[in-house]
Every structure is written in structure tokens, then in C-alpha cells.
Structure 1
Amino acid sequence: MFSPSVLGFAATSGTGKTSLLTKLIPILKAHNLQIGIIKHSHHDFEMDQPGKDSFRLREAGATPVMLVSRYRRAIITELSADTDISLTEQLALFPNAGLDLILVEGFRHERYPKIELVRPNLGKPLLYPEDPSIIAIASDQPLLTPPDLPCLDLNDTQAIAKFVIEIFLKRQRD
């Protein structure tokens, strides 16, 4: 069975991961790639709305709760606040049928292929010296990187898409 490739985008908060992905996904889709995404959040979030039946059922203790319409499906599963979550576990649960690529935002401390986003003006330390799974850097300023670590222009989404398609996905398929 074919498994989609997994590529992450890692950076500290405020670097622009989501902004980049919202521009990158349409370009990748224009190349007939089917894209899924896993976004890691450090915050509690609520997808359901108080007063709705699915919210009331979950509040009553049901977990998981699946909400289905002819347009979309959502599964809400309660997790223990002290549970460590891993990318491997999330990938195992992710519906990947028909996908070519799963993009991951976050899980920056796990080892899987990822592009590090850098804005030197934020003054944050680089991740790549400690993380051999970083396959490229995307920065809004030129950086001196090792010869085997491409440095892409963070503001050139077309160039990042070209790297994903022509370098990353080609390597994954070879």
C-alpha cells in the first residue's frame, strides 16, 4: 500500500508557519498533489460549539464523537492533559487514502523530514544544528548554511514549492 510522504515545517511561534502553508498548499494542489495537514497546537482548543448536540454528547462523556454530514466529517477525541502526543501516533490515526503528501506544522522536536523557517530578526536559535532531520532552511534573510542544507527564500513560496516537488518528493519516490 502506498503511504504519502510526510514533510514538516518547524519554527518557533510567530515565524509564519501557517501563513506559509496557506500560500504553499494551493501551489502544490495546482501540481495535482493531494495534500493533508497535521497541525500541532500547544494550546487547548474547542472545535465544537456549546449547545450543539455533538458538544452535549461529548460533555456527557462520549469520546470519540464523530460528526458527519454529506460535506465533511470531524472526529473529536478527548485526550488526557498529561498525555504526550507523538507525530507517529497522529500519522497512524490520520486518514491518508489518496494523499500524496502530509504536511506537518509543528512537532519540531521529533525526527522526521522538515523545513526550518527562520526569521533572524526574532533572535531565536536555529534548530538545524541539533536536528539532522531538517532538510532545508527557509529564511527571510540570507544565511550561511552547510553545503548540503539548502537555504530557501521564506518569501518565495514558488521556490519552496519547487523544492518540495522537485527535490523532496522526487527523493521520496526514488
Structure 2
Amino acid sequence: MNNAKIFGISGWSGSGKTTLIEKLLPLFRARGLVVSLVKHTHHGFDIDKPGKDSWRFREAGAQEVLLAGAQRWALMHELRETPQPALADLLVHLAPCDLVIVEGFKSAELPKIEVHRPALGKPFFHEAFPAVVALASDAPLDTGLPLLDLNDPPAIATWILNHVGLA
């Protein structure tokens, strides 16, 4: 990977992280930026369908299966008994880009926004993770961090680009 700027979006499940990112991506692209994304999940996931050739190859023991087609390619890597890689180890697999948005990885040492909805009844987590540089919420909050309006993605996009030096 090149010298892409890296910025995180973290928050409790159901806080709106994915929805926010989904709204930010076209705004970044409209500014001519090439953007990649890394998403962390605590749950097992599979992008393959049981019975398909690639699934059968993984089930048979292949460590990596690369699918290639006219519109995209995807590399699946089975961890088997190895530990989950750190974010830095994952980032090296990305092609050069201008900006990498990281969803999740709240303890990673990278600047991030905490998405917080008081209606969820969850506590803040930024006090335990000093890399949180701002909050995005749908309600007024009493915090010493910059507070961004979760319902104003263009303003959040501008704030992020200013913060990482891409404005």
C-alpha cells in the first residue's frame, strides 16, 4: 500500500457506522479520491456459497482462493489455526489509494470518529480509546471532543478530509 491516509469510524452495533460510511464514500469519490475500506467483524462471515467451486476448494484445505472475473477479483484467506491479523498486517494487502476508511477496530491507534446514538443506551468508549478525535451523533452531547451531526454526511466528510490533510 502507498502512503494513503487512514481514518476510522467506530461505534456500538446499531449506531449507524455502516450507513454513515455508505453516505461518505460517494462524497469522497466526488472529490476525485480513490477510497478503500477495511471492516472488522466480531462474527464469523463467509462471502462464498456452500457448494460453489471456491467454497469446495477452501473446505478441501486451500489456504487462499482467488476469484477473478470481468468486474472484480477477490482473495479469500483462511486463517485456520493462526491468530487474527492486526490492522497493519491487513492494510499491506490494499492497492494504492488516497484514503482508507476503517470500520470497527476501535482500539487501533488511528484517528477515528465514534458514532454515538444516546437512544441505544450504550456508554461512550472514547474515554478508553484516546485515538477517538471526534463524535458523530444524532443528538446533542456533553463532550470535550468535536461533535459532528450524524445527519450531515457532507460536513462529516469535509471534517475528515481536513483532519487527514486531503481537503
Unaligned runs of 5+ in 1: none
Structure 2 CA distance for aligned equivalents of residues 162 and 110 of structure 1: 23
Q: Which TM-score applies when normalising by structure 1?
A: 0.89
Runs of 4+ in 1 over 3 A off after TM superposition: none
Following superposition of structure 1 onto structure 2, how do residues 113-124 of structure 1 map, counting pairs within 5 Å? Answer: 113-124=111-122
Following superposition of structure 1 onto structure 2, how do residues 29-44 of structure 1 map, counting pairs within 5 Å? Answer: 29-44=29-44
The amino acid across from 1:160 in the alignment is I
CA RMSD of superposed structures (Å): 1.8
Structure 1 CA distance for aligned equivalents of residues 118 and 47 of structure 2: 34
Describe the SS at the equivalent of 1:130: coil
Alpha carbons of structure 1 residues 43 and 81: separation in structure 2 relative to 1, 3 Å: farther
Residue 49 of structure 1, CA deviation: 1.5
Q: Which TM-score applies when normalising by structure 2?
A: 0.92
Which residue is 2:125 aligned to? Answer: 127
Q: Is the 1:10–1:106 contact (alpha carbons within 8 Å) kept by the matching residues of 2?
A: yes
Structure 1 CA distance for aligned equivalents of residues 5 and 24 of structure 2: 16
Q: Does 1:84 align with 2:79?
A: no
Following superposition of structure 1 onto structure 2, how do residues 81-160 of structure 1 map, counting pairs within 5 Å? Answer: 83-93=83-93, 95-97=94-96, 99-146=97-144, 149-160=145-156
Q: Is the 2:40–2:104 contact (alpha carbons within 8 Å) kept by the matching residues of 1?
A: yes
Q: Does 1:169 align with 2:164?
A: yes
Structure 2 CA distance for aligned equivalents of residues 23 and 7 of structure 1: 15
Q: Does 1:46 align with 2:42?
A: no
Q: Is the 2:63–2:79 contact (alpha carbons within 8 Å) kept by the matching residues of 1?
A: no
Structure 1 CA distance for aligned equivalents of residues 78 and 137 of structure 2: 36
Q: Is the 2:137–2:150 contact (alpha carbons within 8 Å) kept by the matching residues of 1?
A: yes
Structure 1 CA distance for aligned equivalents of residues 158 and 133 of structure 2: 14
Percentage of pairs with the same residue:
43
Q: Is the 2:106–2:129 contact (alpha carbons within 8 Å) kept by the matching residues of 1?
A: no
CA deviation digits over 1:8-41, x for unaligned, max 9? Answer: 1010101011011111101111111111000101
Count the aligned residue pairs: 167
Residue 169 of structure 1, CA deviation: 2.5
Describe the SS at the equivalent of 1:67: strand
Residue 132 of structure 1, CA deviation: 1.4
